[in-house]
Structure formats: C-alpha cells, structure tokens
Structure 1
Amino acid sequence: MDEAYLAQPPQPDLYMQSTAPAPAVLAPKIVWLLTAAGFFSFFIFGFVDNLKGATLSTLLVDLDFSYAQGGSILFGAYLGFFIATLAAGVLADSVGSRKILILAGGLISVGVLAFAGASTFWLLFGAMVVVGLGMGCIEVSGNGLIIQLHPLNRGRYLNLLTTFHGIGALLVPLYAGWLLNGGVSWRQVFQFSLPLAVLLTAVFVLTPVPAKIAATPAEASGFDWQAIGKLGFTRQMIWFYTAIAFYVGAELGIGAWIVEFLQRSKGFSLTGATGFLSLFFGMIMVGRIVGSLVVERLGYLHSVLGAAGAGLICVLIGIFGPPSLVIFVPICGLFFSIIFPTITAVVSEVNPAKTNTILGMLFAAGGAGGALGPWAIGVVSNSLGIQLGFALVAVYCLLVIGATGMVQRTFRK
C-alpha cells in the first residue's frame, strides 16, 4: 500500500458497507436503460461462454478432432478473455465502458460467424480467441458500467449483473440440446445465436450515454504505468488478486470435476451427476439474487468471509461425508455466488481512479485462477485419487478466507 493511502484516516466502515460518494444525478430513465443494457450484455456473456461446451462433442465427431484438439480450441477462448481483461480496462478508462461494450458485440459477432464457418483447427482456434476477446470486454466494461450507474449500492447491482450471466448459462443447454437433438448442425447452433451479439452492439449504439458517466479527462489521459503501479500492485491489491484467483479456481474446479467425482467416488450415474452440476449453477444464480439483498447490510468483506466459510463447510461435508450428504457440494454454490461480484464491488470502491484498468487486472487474476485451479485438481487426482484431488476445492476456500482476512487487516492499519 502506498504512503499516500496510509496517510489517510482509517476506513473501518469500508469493509462493512458501501461508502461511495453520492452519484451524479442522472435521469432515472437513462439509468435504467443503461442498467438493463448492462444486464443484457452479461446474459449474452453467459450464453456465448457456455455455447462452446454444449456443442463441443458434436463438433469433435463432425470434424474428427481429438479431445486434445477440442481442449485447445476451448483454450483459445480463455486466451482471448485473459488478453481482453487487461486491455479492455485500459481502453475503457480512456474511451468509456459503452464503446468497449459496442466493440464486444462486434468481436463476438465476428468470432461466432467465423467459428460457424471454419473447418480447420487453427481457424476454429483463432475464431474462439476473437470470441474470448469479446467476452473479456463484457466482463470488464459491464462491471464498470454498473459501478458508474450505481455507486451507492454497487454490491447489490453487481450481484444482479452476474445473475444474468447465470440465466444465459442455464438456457444454453436447453437451446443447444433442442437444436442438436432435432438434427441441426453445430454450425447452425452458433449461427442462430448471432442475432444476440448483433443486438448487443445495437443496444449500446442506440442508448444515449450522458457525459456524466463517460470517461473523465483524468481517465482518458492514457496509460500511466507509474499510477497503475501504485494503485494496482499495493499489498492490499495483491491480497485481492489472491482471493479472487482462488475463488475462481474453486468455482471452476467444481464445475469441471464434480461429475467425475460423483461418478467415481459416490457411485452416481452420469445423469445424476450432471443433474448435480446443473444444481450447482442453479444455486449460484439463486444465491446472487438473494445476495443482492443482503450484501449491503452485512458489509462487503464480512459477506465474502461468511460465504467462503459456509462454502468450505458445505464442500467438506459433501466430499468426506456419506453419499446421502453429497448434495452439500452443489449447495455450496448458494454461498459461492456472492464472492466474485462482492470482491469486485470492494475493489472498485478503493480504486476510484483508473477503476476499469484495476478491474481488468483483478479479472485477469481470476482468469489465471480459473485456468490453474481445475488443472491442479486433475494433477492431484492422478496421483492421490479423485476424492483428495477434488478436496483441493476446500483448500482454495481456506485460501480465500485467509486472503480476505489479510485485506481486512489493511483497512484497520
């Protein structure tokens, strides 16, 4: 933490509740139009993000690709996402979130269209990188837009924002499964989703954005390495990066390995195991709706600590308890749900300058955790068995609790 920040008076209430200054007065109609547009962007994010997985098996059969090639194509999306989370934050601070969301719609449109028409590995990989770039732009600028519109209740609205990602993710298996079971090609499944991405661009082109929420001259002054170094690499921010990386590792670790764990360790059928996977994501969506009502009252960091602690207990019961209690694994999603958006809310409050750039760095840390967390579970499972490998999720929860506790200590100094 830099000396200028340490010289400020203590801020004990910051980890209790939102302390942002009163927002500039905007016409309610404009606020809700832009809020709805932001929610729609995250719906598309969740829809497109999960479309690739829902069609992968059909694509592999159609093109005679191996699992390794399929996994590499999916990696293209994560690569694009990681690059975009770093670049989009800088650009959004310069030109405003609205223009980056317009760009996101264009990137996803181009990527989806190219992916649907490609047949070679490298063209599919490249198209998925472009899709990932669009999704990364939505992650950064969608959050940034909601923070600008609702600075006094950002925790509530960021939880609602991510709820729409969950709605999109839940609809994809129904949409893709219905079309694929009806004999429709995976290419057409992508093509039929193209209007959503085009609509995203149109929504933000047509929605007026007042100057009050556009990029300020200070933000638009360019990329200041010295300022970003002071703001983005403080001791406090390092702990934030640690917390969100291990949280994303835990969430995606469950998403990637719960089916295998339930089948191998608890004797579930494939249908039952995939049903529990759907229940996990359903719990996340419900939890974010409920969380939007309570995080402002409980306080941001207190909410994160409580959620991580409750999630840890659920994971331990589900993994090491009898098969009748394994339902606690998907139930943990109810508590996991608020961690990511609530950490985002805290980081945006303590970094009022260059907010989008800092959020981009935060989301990049989350992306790294999402890549390494499930990978580590696989490595440990190969050596010690799926039960102990899957138990790394509990370790990740402990590390989230520890990192969040260290963040609290920085506010008390």
Structure 2
Amino acid sequence: MDKRNNYLLLLIVFGGFLVFGFSENIKGPAIPRMQADFSLNELQVGLLLAFNSLGYLLACSFTGFLTRKYGIKFSSILAFGTMASAGVLIFLSVNYPMLSISYFLMYIGNGILEIALGVLAARVFTKNTGTMMNLSHFFYGLSSTVAPIFATVLMSTKVSGKPLGWHGMYLVMLSLSLLPLMFALFTKLPGDEIKEDERTPFKDFLKDPAAWLIVAILSFGVISELSVGGWLVNFLEKAYNWDIAAASKLLSAFFLTFTLSRLFLGPLTDKIGFTKSVIIFSAASGILTLLGILIGESGALLFALAGAGIAPIYPTVMALLAKRYPKDSDTAVSFTVTMMGIGSVIGNFLVGAIIDLFKNIYTGWYGIESGLVMGMKAGYSFVGVCALLCSITAIALYGVLKRRNELI
C-alpha cells in the first residue's frame, strides 16, 4: 500500500507540473484571438495580464497559511479544482469583464498550485532531493515547450463542424487538472502530521539572514530565466537584424538546453551540494550571456547555451528549502516564492528601463539606430548580470551556512 501511495504521489507531483506548464503557456496563441473576438486594445490585454500577476502573487502569499492550517491535501485539491473551474468559466466567457475574472481565477489557481507542488515535492523527495526536484521541473519545461503547439492544434480542431477556438481549448487543457485532483483525493499526502510546537515561529524565520539570501538568489535567478523568454527575440531582431523565424529558433534552442539541463544535471546538484551548484551554474549562465554580447552576432549561440546554466537554479533552491526547513516547508516555500515574485516583477521592469535609458543616451550621441542597438545590448546584459548576482549571493549564503556548520 505504501509503495502504491508513493507512485500516486509521483503522479500528482509530475502531473501537477505538467498541468502547470500547460496553463501558463497556452496563452500565447490564444491572446490574439481573444483580442480579435472581443475587440480589445493593447491596454486591455496588458491589464488582463497584469491582473493575472496580481492573482498569482496573492495566491502565493496565502497558500502557505492554508497549507499550515488545513494541510497539503486541501491546498492541492483546491489548486487543481480552481484551475478546472477557471477552464469552465473561460469557456463560458462572452465579454471582457467575464474573461478577466476567469483569467484572474486561473492565476489564483496557478499561484496555489506552485506553492502546493513546492511543499508536496519537499515532503515527498526526501532522498536524491536535487535530482527529483530538477526532474519534476523538467516536466514543467516539457509541457511549456509543447503547450503553444497543442493550443494551436486544439483551437483549430473541429467538433460538430465548428472549431473549438480558444474557449474550447482552455476548457480541454485546464480540465487536465482533474486527473491529479482525482489522485490527490485518494492518496495519503505526507507532512500534515507535523505539530505546531515542532515548527519554527514565522518571526524567527524572518530574522534568519539565510532565508533572505535564498530569496535574493531565487529572485536574481528567475529574473535571468524569465527575461530570456521576454527579450531574446526582441534583442536579436533589433540588435542584429535577425528575422523572427531565425530569432525564434534560437529561443527554442535556449528552451531545449534549459529543459535537457533539468533532466540531466539534477544528479550533479546532489553530488556537488545545492549551494555550490547554484554558484557554479548561475555563474556559467551569466558569463555565457555576457560573452555572447561582447563577441557580437557570431556569439549568439552562447545565449542558447546559457539556458543549461540557469535551468537548475529554481529546482535546486527548492531542494535547498526542502532540506533546510523539513518541518516548515510550507512557510519557507510560500515566503520565498512570494518575495521572489515581487522581485521578478521589478527585475523585468528594470530590463525595459535600462534599454530606454541607454537608447536615449546613445541616440543623442550616435543617432537613433545606434542608440537602439546599444540600448538593447545594455538591457540584455542585465540578464547576464542577474545570473552573476545570483552566483555572488549564493557565495554569501555559502559563507553564512559554512560558519554555522549548516551546509547542504
């Protein structure tokens, strides 16, 4: 029975990360069609996505409390149920306000799911934690990679002579949440038996310098990771005059090295140690990114290779939290991811601000075209700098943990 339960736990975690990747990355092909159907302008689309980020951060902030009070089983079922319900509401959406509410609910579900999966993985993967954390996040990368393709195919699939469209596509894709939900209903989830007096008080957690260093490490790492998806194609088009097809292929190459890295480098994190792994991998990513900019167009392949370095950061930090706070993983994961979310929003804003700043400076000196190129190079350099700052902060954490004899 225990063996069967363990297999079901793996299905919940891996299946949950698959669903998570799908739900976050099917919007690319869907948003232009939503915009056309409801005659939305760019501001309305921007507001829709902004509310999503708000819902996600809101959910991250309260899920740790829910898990601590009602258990990981409750949080997991709530996450999957919320996402399935959002799929139904998106399917029924007939106007922009209803779509906004439905999307907001979906990202509430995403936020709950991210924390619930992090906590559940921390409790399940007590052995080979780095390997298993990276493997579980590989499933997220896998579904993220194929999600736009699946979404496009589903939207054009005909049922009773009519295409499913984005309404039906969301209903089908988010209904996949019901599968891990069913497993969660009939599976014993670990860790809820921990008593309150065995836990670390939250105020003590906030006073721990290591906890804040971990937040900084994850924030710098995630800014570097997410900024590639948002800015690499734009950079290649404007700095090197690549066409969109060539730029998109290089972005796909980045995600390929990123996904394979999580599949194959996980065991190394267990052997090297989690903090050392973050130092090495994030430094490699930062150096490759900055070298790619210094070399110029002929060094563009280095941007793709940088994906192998930045990919293990998030799951390895989750493994570090699991080992460092075995009885407080709900609090540790919720606090760290919420603060990281705030930091990543600021970081992505800074990329755009740096581009504008240097573009304006160099335009005055060398003209509009040269100003744009220098602005894009300065902004994308920030992606590499964040990876290096992730490594430097990890060195600081290594020093703190070594002094305390708490290295993992």
TM-score normalised over the length of structure 1: 0.88
Query: Structure 1 counterpart of 2:400, which letter?
Result: T
Deviation, 1:369, is: 2.7
**Alignment partners' CA distance in 2, 1:279 and 1:162:** 18
Q: Does 1:194 align with 2:174?
A: yes
Q: Does 1:274 align with 2:253?
A: no
State the partner residue of 2:328.
354
Per-residue CA distance 1:36-56 (angstroms, 9 max, x = gap): 211100100000011123311
Q: Does 1:173 align with 2:153?
A: no
Residue 73 of structure 1 contacts residue 121 of structure 1 at CA under 8 Å; is this kept in 2?
Answer: no
Deviation, 1:310, is: 0.6
Deviation, 1:398, is: 2.0
Per-residue CA distance 1:190-229 (angstroms, 9 max, x = gap): 12223202223222113x206xx2412524x79x9x9111
Q: Does 1:90 align with 2:69?
A: no
Residue 220 of structure 2 contacts residue 387 of structure 2 at CA under 8 Å; is this kept in 1?
Answer: yes
Q: Does 1:401 align with 2:394?
A: no
Query: Structure 2 counterpart of 1:187, which letter?
Result: H
State the partner residue of 2:379.
389
Within the candidate set 295, 302, 311, 2:269 is matched to: 295
Q: 1:201-350 maps to which residues of 2 (within 5 A)?
A: 201-206=181-186, 208-209=187-188, 213-219=190-196, 227-350=201-324
Q: 1:355-374 maps to which residues of 2 (within 5 A)?
A: 355-374=329-348
Deviation, 1:68, is: 1.9
Q: 1:122-133 maps to which residues of 2 (within 5 A)?
A: 122-133=97-108
Q: For this pair of structures, how many residues does the alignment match?
A: 382
Deviation, 1:389, is: 1.0
Closer/same/farther in 2, CA of residues 181 and 272 from structure 1, 3 Å limit? farther
Residue 315 of structure 1 contacts residue 329 of structure 1 at CA under 8 Å; is this kept in 2?
Answer: yes
**Alignment partners' CA distance in 1, 2:226 and 2:194:** 38
State the partner residue of 1:61.
36
Query: Structure 1 counterpart of 2:288, which letter?
Result: C
**Alignment partners' CA distance in 1, 2:268 and 2:376:** 36
**Alignment partners' CA distance in 1, 2:100 and 2:282:** 35
Deviation, 1:383, is: 2.2
Deviation, 1:160, is: 0.8
**Alignment partners' CA distance in 2, 1:63 and 1:307:** 44
Specify every segment of 5 or more residues in structure 2 that has no aligned partner in the other structure, as ranges: 158-162, 359-374, 404-408
Deviation, 1:293, is: 2.0
TM-score normalised over the length of structure 2: 0.89
Per-residue CA distance 1:370-409 (angstroms, 9 max, x = gap): 3222221111112211111111112211211121111111
Per-residue CA distance 1:104-150 (angstroms, 9 max, x = gap): 11110111221232243332222222111111122111121122122
**Alignment partners' CA distance in 2, 1:149 and 1:359:** 14
**Alignment partners' CA distance in 1, 2:191 and 2:401:** 30
- Kindly report the root-mean-square deviation, in angstroms, between the aligned alpha carbons of the 2 structures: 1.9
Residue 86 of structure 1 contacts residue 357 of structure 1 at CA under 8 Å; is this kept in 2?
Answer: no
Instruction: Report the secondary structure of 1:209's partner residue.
Output: coil
Q: 1:109-124 maps to which residues of 2 (within 5 A)?
A: 109-124=84-99
Residue 257 of structure 1 contacts residue 374 of structure 1 at CA under 8 Å; is this kept in 2?
Answer: no
After superposing the two structures, state which structure 1 stretch, 177-186 or 290-299, moved more.
177-186
- Identity, % of aligned positions: 22
After superposing the two structures, state which structure 1 stretch, 276-285 or 250-259, moved more.
276-285
Query: Structure 2 counterpart of 1:62, which letter?
Result: D
Query: Structure 2 counterpart of 1:209, which letter?
Result: K
Instruction: Report the secondary structure of 2:241's partner residue.
Output: coil
After superposing the two structures, state which structure 1 stretch, 381-390 or 333-342, moved more.
381-390
Residue 244 of structure 1 contacts residue 365 of structure 1 at CA under 8 Å; is this kept in 2?
Answer: no
**Alignment partners' CA distance in 1, 2:149 and 2:207:** 43
Deviation, 1:152, is: 2.5
Specify every segment of 5 or more residues in structure 1 that has no aligned partner in the other structure, as ranges: 1-25
Residue 347 of structure 1 contacts residue 359 of structure 1 at CA under 8 Å; is this kept in 2?
Answer: yes
Higher relative contact order, structure no. (Cα contacts within 8 Å, ≥ 6 residues apart): 1
Closer/same/farther in 2, CA of residues 297 and 214 from structure 1, 3 Å limit? closer
